[in-house]
Chains A and B, each alone.
Chain A
């Protein structure tokens, strides 16, 4: 069982189905976010359906590029023998 699930995520032949499933999940999440009942919304963005998806994507991109910028341009990343 475990092996089959793992293979589904690893094997190249499942790539197409995997991608379809992934996009389907994304769409379902957005739809669900429009449908859920928001009884208590403290902040403006909490009333905005799809906000969390946008924020998650934005955070991810921001983290990747800010980190890589710090690593490459600000010299945080060094050769492995830096301390030797």
Chain B
């Protein structure tokens, strides 16, 4: 086992000492573990590790191949960046939760069987929920509970699917799922799609992420949806349904982003949109499409974290999160703005930024697979992406109406973390070959062709023209948008109404009936019983007792204590016995 250290366990076990460490020792420690994890990932070799048998099933704790190494690489890099961003926190709780969360995500990425996968899947759910609860506001607590309940529901579907799949195939090893969509497959797919935030199972994400702590949201933006992308890429490549779901996601996210006023919720809708590209790529299923999907996941984690860090920095400094209450911060937070814009240009796929070399691979793969509609829909979503994350959000947050907010640059560790992510966003865009070398299939794709550059710039810059012309139509409004969480939020309310009104009334009616009719009847019955008991049963028993007492008294008189009386009685007895013997025997 010396040639393989499980980076997930490194994080999970590494979380234990955090609460007892203090000050700069703790700071050094929470940076050391992610660094070791990066080294562990970089030095690992493909193969199966930690094979065992459990309840008669084969278990593989870690199955290492190119796909898992790719995700593990970006996860551990992201963990380091996230920890740098969260370094100023004084409480240990969030560090521990983040460690367990990252460790569980890595556990899923290496899981060779469904049981291991499920175990870590649950670990992610609970650890990430803590990052919402840690915000401590009433709103966050509610959102956190909704987040937990939705994910637990999804996990139950997943577990059900795993059990059915295990019975059907006799093996719990995790790999591509063959055959049509049976019940087992559907349940597993539903569990995966929920974590990938595919509409209509998306609302947990946009509900909970903006309520999480500033530093927690950075972690959340990176891990849950991307582990879902990983398991989809592993189990369901080439499933046509995913192509359509992916398109819907990509457009769904940008449509809702137009309406959104909360800065991090706007970014959360763009997670939905961007994961749509990945889901569509996995659905197309060609080597190039899967390469595109997973490389986009790699790039997405870094630029999305950067965007969340930028928005988080603004919230950290100003305490405000609504676009209607922000504006004019470019004077006081220029570095934050510049770093945020690197992320925005990367997500929008500007040339020389990471999105350009990954997102375009998905779109190109769709084109190669003769899916014109997919190409057009995804290109339209790109336009929407730039419109919101690249134009609307920075305009209303940093420029726009100056709200005269007292602001300054955030703590240095936040800027350093953003700088790290920004450098990687640019590095991937400028030197895509390094990332391409990590991809599961050989890459035959050059993003830097003249026509690709001019087409991308055409789409993006004319989107900017649309933005400039229709700026007033985009003014943020002080509203919230109804998403599919309406069903369970209102559903829960209806349920509570049902419990409090009709059910409570029914309960009261039943207790009234019992008080007015049943209770007096029972009282009467009890009294009658008592009477029967006293007059009937007791009298009878007393009579018997008295008879026995009297009989005893009579018998006592026979015991005189005089020997001659006893002798006489014996003789009388013998005579009687002889008489009986003589009569009866004859």
Contact = CB atoms under 8 A, between A and B. Distances in A.
By size class, the interface of chain B is 35 or more
Given A2-B335, A10-B399, A78-B480, A60 B463 contact: yes
A63 B451 CA distance: 25
B459 interface: yes
Interface string B431-461: 0000000000000000000110111111111
Nearest to A41: B451
Interface stretch (B12-20, B52-60, B379-387, B499-507): B379-387
A60 B467 CA distance: 7
Contact of B379 (A29, A32, A59, A65): A59
Interface stretch (B100-108, B173-181, B197-205, B254-262): B254-262
Contact of A36 (B399, B450, B463, B481): B450
Contacts of B399: 9-10
B120 interface: no
Most buried by B among A7, A51, A82: A82
B456 A52 contact: yes
A30 B256 CA distance: 30
Interface centre among A33, A67, A70, A78, by most chain B C-beta atoms within 10 angstroms, is A67
B451 A59 contact: no
Interface stretch (B90-98, B295-303, B468-476): B468-476
Contacts of B477: 77
Given A5-B338, A10-B331, A32-B454, A64 B466 contact: yes
B461 A56 contact: yes
A35 to B, nearest CB: 8
Interface of B: 254-256, 258-259, 330-331, 334-335, 337-338, 367-368, 370, 372, 375-376, 379-380, 383-384, 387, 398-399, 450-451, 453-468, 470, 473-474, 477-482, 489
Interface of A: 2-3, 5-7, 9-10, 22, 25-26, 29-30, 32-33, 36-38, 42-43, 50-57, 59-68, 70-71, 75-80, 82-83
Nearest first, the 5 A-B pairs at minimum CB distance are A60-B466, A56-B459, A67-B258, A52-B458, A36-B450
